[in-house]
Amino acid sequence: MSFPVEHHFRFDAQNKLDADDWLLIPRAQLAPHFALDETLAQELVQLYLETVAQHRLARIRVEQTDGVIRLRMPLNKVAIIFAEQETLVNAERAETSWRIAGGFLLAHRVNYGGRFYLGAEWQADALKLYSIIRRYPPRFVAYLGGKNGIALYGALQGRMHKQIQARYLRRAAAAIAKN
């Protein structure tokens, strides 16, 4: 089964990124006993981290210590740091989010690096699996500014982000739809 992945992004006036990636699984393709619960939230996180670690070009290593996740690139450089995990689970949503706390892909001298979300929520007749970034200031955009920074972000970091998110969402949908 293949589910189309939607990807939308925009930069606000302060050059902070909002990116939304999602796909929909019709309710008819879910097991009757399927529920949004803590186990699903944990499975989505684990699947995301596995997907990141398996990305062919980036060779990212995932480190988890004391509730902090570090995504390390070759030469031991920390690309992104996720901290302060929050999980929200109810009948309509299972979601985990983190504050983006650092890493070389984050702009320098910012007081807020944005937030990253993974989750699933009920829509009218489908389950929406999603990955969201809110108010993230990428280093390329902050350094080069405006159109040049956004173009470089899109060609490099944005392209890799889109690939990883699409692969993650397809893998999550396959795991959920088969149960």
Average pLDDT over residues 138-163: 84
Domain 6-178: which CATH class?
A: alpha beta
The confidence score (pLDDT) of residue 102 equals 94
Q: Quick check: 1 pLDDT over 70? A: no
List for the chain the helix, strand, coil content (%; round to 5). Answer: 35, 40, 30
- The model's pLDDT over 76-135, given as tens digits with 9 standing for 90+, comes to 899 999 999 999 999 999 999 999 999 998 988 888 999 999 999 999 999 999 999 999
**If you write DSSP's letter for every residue of 18-66 in order, what string do you get?**
EEEEEEEEEGGGS-TT----HHHHHHHHHHHHHHHHT-TTT--EEEEET
Indicate left, alpha or beta for 91 from its phi (over 0: left) and psi (-120 to 50: alpha): alpha
CA max distance for the chain: 51
Q: What is the pLDDT of residue 139?
A: 87
Burial 104-137 (b: 16+ CB within 10 A, else e): ebbbeebeebbbbbbbbbeeeebbebbbbbeebb
Query: Domain-by-domain residue ranges, the chain?
Result: 6-178
